């Protein structure tokens, strides 16, 4: 497992660079704007990732929130329990998963509603024949027709939001490097940490693919802004308040004694 330890050390070092953590969210706005321009100018050639059937989209992006929770839940439990075994503390920190899931659910359902409310059902790809009897996206597509409405990019939203959420909740790893953990918990934490960083890489890559291959510019930009807003209002505003899940612990109790 020495190789994993080296990878973990390098990743922790990377995320401890202030400019990386402080400016990570701007990457999504930059990619969204630049990618949209490249798409409109048709400067990016078609590739494997320009198809919605590519493996990363089908097996990861389509269920991205599931992957995020699957890996982040055990990591959050293991990492936070090394700071405190208090049931109250752990339950409070686990609330961040519930809050994030609520943000994901509310935003995606709102996107679906907006597309439904602003759309029409067309019987052809050229959108020249409207079927007024089918007034919802579900019924329209079930009939084999095409629904066209204001489609805020759920991919842009969830990929940006998930990546920012993971980066925030894996921050305690910097302190856990020096914590006195037994071999098994440390190995599990290291593997989860590497897996979560790999998922962040996948999310950023697929966010870039979404930006250069799919959706209208305003759809992508609005989806991205919703993801950034969800992250900002929680981790930069609400979680600083006493009545909140609170921010992830940044310094291990032993480190605090050393700095006292």
Crossing angle for the helix pair 183-213 and 18-40, nearest 10 degrees? Answer: 30
Among residues 25, 155, 219, 252, the one annotated as catalytic is 155
From residue 184, alpha-carbon distances to 86, 122, 165, 188, 227 in Å are 21, 57, 26, 6, 35
Active-site residue, 155 included: yes
Active-site residue, 215 included: yes
Pure H helices in the chain: 2-15, 18-40, 55-59, 64-81, 87-118, 137-142, 154-169, 173-176, 183-213, 217-231, 253-259
Q: Work out the end-to-end distance of the chain between its first and last CA atoms, rounded to an integer number of angstroms.
A: 34
Cα–Cα dist 156/143, whole Å: 28
Among residues 146, 148, 215, 259, the one annotated as catalytic is 215
Q: Which residues are catalytic?
A: 155, 215
């Amino acid at each position: 497992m020495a190789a994993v330890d080296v990878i973990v050390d390098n990743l922790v070092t990377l995320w401890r660079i202030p400019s990386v953590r402080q400016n990570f969210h701007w990457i999504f706005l930059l990619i969204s704007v630049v990618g949209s321009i490249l798409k409109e100018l048709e400067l990016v050639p078609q590739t494997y990732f320009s198809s919605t059937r590519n493996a990363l989209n089908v097996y990861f992006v389509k269920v991205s929130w599931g992957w995020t929770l699957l890996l982040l839940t055990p990591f959050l439990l293991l990492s936070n329990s090394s700071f405190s075994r208090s049931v109250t503390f752990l339950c409070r920190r686990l609330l961040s998963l519930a809050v994030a899931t609520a943000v994901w659910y509310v935003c995606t359902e709102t996107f679906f509603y907006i597309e439904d409310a602003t759309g029409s059902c067309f019987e052809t790809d050229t959108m020249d024949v409207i079927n007024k009897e089918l007034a919802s996206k579900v019924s329209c597509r079930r009939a084999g027709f095409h629904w066209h409405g204001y489609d805020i990019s759920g991919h842009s939203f969830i990929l940006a939001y998930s990546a920012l959420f993971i980066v925030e909740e894996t921050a305690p790893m910097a302190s856990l490097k020096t914590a006195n953990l037994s071999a098994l918990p440390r190995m599990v934490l290291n593997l989860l940490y590497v897996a979560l960083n790999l998922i962040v890489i996948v999310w950023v890559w697929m966010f870039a693919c979404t930006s250069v291959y799919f959706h209208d510019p305003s759809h992508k930009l609005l989806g991205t802004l919703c993801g950034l807003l969800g992250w900002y209002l929680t981790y930069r505003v609400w979680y600083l308040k006493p009545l909140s899940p609170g921010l992830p612990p940044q310094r291990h109790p032993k480190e605090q004694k050393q700095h006292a």
